Amino acid sequence: SGTKNGMFGRTGDMNTTSKKVINTITQEIFGSVAEAERKNGIKKGILIAKLNGRATNNTSFKYFQDVYS
């Protein structure tokens, strides 16, 4: 538990399952959806719903891999 867990403390882009997000207007790249939400004042979970197609994406954010693949 806790510090013995191999993923302990690996948040944002340090987490191997995080996906990078890009703001297509400013070209700013974020290491994770949570980081993009935090830095842009978006409520937790809203951006991921938009990026995954569960809600209409009326933002300039996209998964980095979708833009540059």
One pLDDT digit (tens) per residue for the chain, 69 residues: 677 765 566 666 666 778 999 999 999 999 999 999 999 999 989 999 999 999 999 999 999 999 987
State the pLDDT at residue 1.
60
State the pLDDT at residue 18.
85
Q: Tell me the C-alpha distance between 23 and 43, whole Å.
A: 17
Would you say how long the chain is, in residues? 69
State the pLDDT at residue 51.
97
State the pLDDT at residue 6.
59
Beta-strand ranges (E) seen in 1-69 are 21-23, 29-30, 61-63
State the pLDDT at residue 5.
67
